[in-house]
Structure formats: structure tokens, C-alpha cells
Amino acid sequence: MQKDNPSARFDPAYAAMPFGIVVLNADRTKAMIDELGAAGALPDVRKMDQNTVCALYNSTPVAYANQVARELLGGMEDTHSSLGPALHEESRRAFVDGMIRFFRSSDQIAFEAQVRSPSGSEMHLLFNIWKNPQDEAGKEICVGLANFSARMMSEEVRENLQSELAHAARITLLGEMTASIGHEVNQPLGSIVTNAEAGLRWLNREEPDLAEVGAILQRIVSNGKRAADIISAMRGLARHGKPEQGPISLDTLIEEAVIILRPELARRQVTLRLELAPDMPDVLADRTQILQVLVNLALNAAQAMSDGQAWNRTLLIRTWIEKSLNAVIEVEDSGPGVDPSVREKLFQSFYTTKATGVGMGLAICRSIIEAHDSTIELQSSPHLGARFSFRLRLSQRETEAITQ
């Protein structure tokens, strides 16, 4: 292994670089790739057999490695070794794929791979491959190595924290509606008990009325389904998992939100109106997160109308499709509107106009919608209510169907 030495034939700047640089002799590698390509045996690297991957990976002896590269990879004590055992099997495939793409295009290639450090810890490295400008024979390639594990970790921590905050906000939201939800569940359960007792009385008569018992059983089934729907909607809102966007039915999601909101709206004497676009296509969204946004916006509107003592308390949920092929969702109330003095602070974390609020609901709603590449817009006039709206992309298959 050649030591970092300004008198060596390699660029002296390589030794001072804050990232790893490895110079590989890839003459044999290029010949193998050309041979496989000529024989028509150069398939997708993901489908390439392990022996071929190993042969290509080990065909690149190290001509030079600076100190940073040796610390990152280890296992390169002599100039006859490859990048060593640090790369996992899948990472070796990624490296071989990078070399194939490089020799096919002769352009600089960049890719990411997971690597095991000499201490045994896992690292995420960014690889760059380019021609060695000092090699006139064109046999050598340079590989740059940058460790971005800390950045990956910070992004992962941030995403996990946002997910935890959103989940905590959903649980808080359910907590605010505990009394009305309990009443809503107790109603069908009480009806089930009452109907069951009545059914027993009909059966215990000298001549049981089976028709009446059948009707009672139908009512029991209906009330059981109603209770199950409420519990299912609650579980959907309380679900804790990694955010994942996919095609979802917006109409079905609004139905679930209505099930959750119904008891609270009734308690606050709020009339709900739905103006849903006919044949609304599926949208691309995270089901639990958008349900959280809908419930949060609607509940805020109901509370604003109740606290503002509005005499005509109407909540409107409207959907429509705009020309840019986005679904627009609007939540509108007939309350006192948003005070212009608090409008700019409304979506800030920990800002609240409620005596018992913590000020995270709308801030989390904003972060959720921004994660869906959209924004929450607010239109408000004093004493004329407020309208919150946001957009969701239609799923790809729905967009293609509309544009055809």
C-alpha cells in the first residue's frame, strides 16, 4: 500500500482531502465488462449471479488510498486488494453497477451504499467514480468516499420526531372528544341490549312471533355495525406507524372523519353539510395523516362557532377537482372568522387561542400537508367565518384516466 506522499505520482491534494479517495486499477474490470457485453451476458446487476458480481468487484486492485479512505474502509493493507470486505453484498452490487455505468458512459457516477466500518458499525457512504486525470493510459479510476451517516441519522431522527408529535396530537384530539365519543358508542350498545331483551320476550310468548324477532335482530345487527364503525374510525385516528403515501379514496376518508366528528358536532349543535365532487378519483396521500388534518380542521371550526356563540352553526366540507388535476379539500365554517392580529401566528407551534390548548394541532396539520407537497390556505372575514383549504395530488392511474 503506498503511503500518502507528496512525491508520489498521485495528486498531493488527495492526501489533504477531508473525504476518502481511492485510486483503482480498473483495466481488467473494463475488459471483463466489455467481454460480458459482447457476449450479451451483461444483465441487470440485481439479477447478476453472485460469482460474476464477486469477480467484477475483486478485479480492481487498489493503487492508492488516502488516510480518510483507509479509516473508512480498512482491509486495504496492500495494493493487490480490492475495496475489501467493508461493503455488504448489496453494496458490492451497487459498486459493480456504478462501474458498469461509468464504463458505458465515461461520465462521473454517484451512488450510495451501506458499509461496515473497521470497528463494526454501519455507515452510509456516498461514492463518486471518475477518471484519474493523471493516468494517460486510461486504466485507473478514482473513487471518492463521503460519510453522510450523521446526516442520515439526523433526518431519520427528525422524521421519527415528527411522526411521534403527530401521533401525540391525534391521541390528544381523541382525548378532547372522549365524552361525546363515549356517548356515541353507548347509544348503539344500549339499543342492542334493549332490542335483545324485547326479542327474548317475543320468543317466550306461547306463540313466538318470529317475524318480530327477525326485525329486532336486524336492528341489533344495524346497531352493532354502527358501534363497530365508530370504534374502527377511532382506531384509524389512533394508529401509530411510519407515514406512507398511497392511493386512497377521499370520499371514504371523509366518511370516517364524519363518524369521528358526529358526536362532537351534535354536542356543540353544529350542522354538517357535505358538498363532495361526484366520482372523485383516488388521491395520493397518507390515510391516517389526512384523516388527522380533516378532523383537526373540522373540530377547530366547531369549537370556534361554539365559543364565538354563532347562532347559525354550519360546518361545510367541500371537495372538487381543479384543472391542474389536484383534489381540493375545503373546510368552511360560519363562525366569527379569524382575527387578523393572530392570523400570521395561527400555524406556529405552541401558539393557541384556547384556554386549554397546547398550540400544536394546526402546526402539525401544516407540516403534514407540506409533506404532501401542498400548503394550507386560509380565507377569513370578520363575522363571516373561515375557510381552510389544501390540495392533494390525484394518484397516477387516476390522472392518466382523466387526461386520456
Question: Mean pLDDT, to the nearest integer, of 153-176?
Answer: 61
Per-residue pLDDT tens digits for 36-45? 776 565 667 7
**What percent of the chain is helix, strand and coil (3-state, nearest 5)?**
50, 20, 30
pLDDT value of residue 164: 62
Higher-pLDDT residue of 208 and 240 is 208
> Which segment, 14-23, 76-85, 159-168, is predicted with the most confidence on average?
14-23
Question: Mean pLDDT, to the nearest integer, of 94-110?
Answer: 79
pLDDT value of residue 316: 92
Confidence of residue 5 (pLDDT cuts 50, 70, 90): very low
Assign residue 88 a region (left: φ > 0; alpha: ψ between -120 and 50; beta: otherwise).
beta
CATH second-level architecture of 6-152? 2-Layer Sandwich (3.30)
Q: Cell digits for 340?
A: 387578523
Q: How far is CA 176 from CA 39, 180, 289, in A?
A: 69, 9, 18
pLDDT value of residue 63: 85
Contact 23, 63 (CB under 8 A): yes
pLDDT value of residue 319: 94
Higher-pLDDT residue of 37 and 237 is 37
pLDDT value of residue 113: 81
pLDDT value of residue 11: 63
Question: Mean pLDDT, to the nearest integer, of 170-194?
Answer: 70
What string of DSSP letters covers 226-280?
A: HHHHHHHHHHHHH-------EEE-HHHHHHHHHHHHHHHHHHTT-EEEEEPPTTP
Per-residue pLDDT tens digits for 371-402? 888 888 888 877 778 899 999 999 865 555 55
Give the number of other Cβ atoms within 10 Å of residue 43's Cβ: 11
Q: Tell me the residue length of the chain.
A: 404
pLDDT at 292 over 50: yes
CATH for 159-393 is 3.30.565.10
Between CA 269 and CA 247 the distance in angstroms is 34
Confidence of residue 6 (pLDDT cuts 50, 70, 90): very low
Domain assignments of the chain as residue spans, ordered by start: 6-152, 159-393
Helix (H) or strand (E) holding 2: none
Q: What is the pTM of this model?
A: 0.50
Between CA 175 and CA 181 the distance in angstroms is 9
What string of DSSP letters covers 78-102?
A: STT--S-TTB-HHHHHHHHHHHHHH
pLDDT at 404 over 60: no
What string of DSSP letters covers 96-147?
A: HHHHHHHHHH-S-EEEEEEEE-TTS-EEEEEEEEEE-TT-TTS-EEEEEEEE
pLDDT at 327 over 90: yes
AA identity, residue 345: K
pLDDT value of residue 207: 83
Higher-pLDDT residue of 283 and 114 is 283
Give the number of other Cβ atoms within 10 Å of residue 241's Cβ: 9
Per-residue pLDDT tens digits for 124-138? 888 888 877 777 777
AA identity, residue 76: M
What does the angle CA 41 – CA 42 – CA 48 come to, to the nearest 5 degrees? Answer: 100
Per-residue pLDDT tens digits for 334-385? 887 777 766 666 766 544 555 444 445 677 788 888 888 888 888 887 777 8
pLDDT value of residue 317: 93
Q: What percent of the chain has pLDDT over 70?
A: 71
